[in-house]
Amino acid sequence: MTALLRVFSREVYRASCRRDGQLPFACVVGKVLTPRGFATDAKDNLKKTPLYDFHLELGGKMVPFCGWSMPVQYKDGVLSSHLHTRQQASLFDVSHMLQFKVHGDDRIKFLESLVVADIQGLAENTGTLSLFTTESGGIIDDLIINKTPEYLYVVSNAGCADKDLKHMQERLDAVSGELDVALEIIEDKALIALQGPKAVAILQSGVTGDLSKMFFMHTGVMDVFGIKDVRVTRCGYTGEDGFELSVDQHRAVDLAKAFLESKEAEVKPAGLGPRDSLRLEAGLCLYGNDIDENTTPVEAVLVWTIGKRRRAQADFPGAEIILRQIKEKAKRKRVGLVSKGPPARGGAPILDQGGNKVGQVTSGGPSPSLKQNIAMAYVPTEFSKPGTSLQLEVYKKKIDAQVVKMPFLPTNYFFGK
């Protein structure tokens, strides 16, 4: 097992797979309907995405992840897959993520009552990262919200699907008869991510529209390699340019094959291992590790997700606490750290120069691109300035570390030329 895979196993499994084994439920207009999920393995009760058999054919190493059987790596290994994504393009199966739509005349008002985003202010067919927040300012989950003329298309984390649905169900019950809103859980779509600098050339060869006019966080429905009605969103979780494609589950393998057979560049399948190391280099949070219900957007350095109008109106859950932190500054802050020697993993203590514990690592491991150890952590604000020297306690040894700005590696999102 490689060092990167050890990092993944100890951090992502522990923090992200906090589920009770129950299938989440689909809700429409506040009514509980059917269990969500594709296929379920009776032996271990793991759900399977539409690409499950395809992963096995490609030699994917399957592991339990948030109630799903998912590939953690392929024959080339985590390191090779990570670097290939940075240099070419990789294909990720993210069908385990929760996809849903919010319908109705009051759809924006409904979702804004739960999140911090200014959805009203989004241009049509664009999206944003947002947060479900608690009344005490904590983060229930992070999610991508896309505004279309007919509905809101949302993607949230697999590990939070149950509590997200429960949270929205409770709100639906509270506004029943007051708001025109309906929640539709998307049952019949797989979700595929194509990530890397060559992703746009590969996808462009299979669509008729001009992707140079489709910027980061823009979305649209189009035919892709002859497959009709695929929702394409220019986004991802790697820091690279790329796309997420919501496709009919019966055509998911066809789409995956079309990408892997592309003549524009070499596309390889990638698993959860490189997905984790790629997002860490990009400074992106993993729910359950770097953000949770005990973390506020201010502490997590996610204030930018709170729309200017929403701040002025102070009408999102936890607004009083969050806005006070913005004004007065939070007592702790998420920072990036670099170090040498053995890599620090989630839970590793952080010490000041006097040997006093001042925080702990939330995500960490070796960076394949930078060839040094990186980590994210929470420390008191007075220790958060880039250049601050700290120590990490790894295997009972003290390792020198330094606070740095994030992302660790420059991101390559496409905002136009």
Asked whether the CA dihedral 159, 100, 267, 416 is positive or negative, the reply is negative
Helix then strand then coil, in percent of the chain rounded to 5, is 25, 35, 40
| Backbone phi and psi for residue 402, each to the nearest 5 degrees, phi listed first | -135, 140
Distance, in Å, from the CA atom of 48 to the CA atom of 62, rounded to the nearest integer, reads 10
Instruction: Specify the pLDDT at position 219.
Output: 98
pLDDT in tens, the chain (417 residues): 333 333 333 333 333 333 333 222 223 333 333 334 456 555 568 999 999 999 999 999 999 999 999 999 999 999 999 999 999 999 999 999 999 999 999 999 999 999 999 999 999 999 999 999 999 999 999 999 999 999 999 999 999 999 999 999 999 999 999 999 999 999 999 999 999 999 999 999 999 999 999 999 999 999 999 999 999 999 999 999 999 999 999 999 999 999 999 999 999 999 999 999 999 999 999 999 999 999 999 999 999 999 999 999 999 999 999 999 999 999 999 999 999 999 999 999 999 999 999 999 999 999 999 999 999 999 999 999 999 999 999 998 999 999 999 999 999 999 987
Distance, in Å, from the CA atom of 220 to the CA atom of 214, rounded to the nearest integer, reads 9
Instruction: Specify the pLDDT at position 20.
Output: 30
Instruction: Specify the pLDDT at position 356.
Output: 97
pTM comes to: 0.90
Instruction: Specify the pLDDT at position 48.
Output: 97
Cα separation of the two ends of the chain: 42
Instruction: Specify the pLDDT at position 417.
Output: 73
Token duo for residue 345: 């993993």
DSSP 281-317: HTT---BTTTB-TT--TTTTT-GGGS-HHHHHHT-ST
Instruction: Specify the pLDDT at position 143.
Output: 98
What per-residue string of b and e applies to 128-141 under the rule 16 or more CB within 10 Å gives b?
Answer: bbbbbbeeebbbbb
Instruction: Specify the pLDDT at position 260.
Output: 98
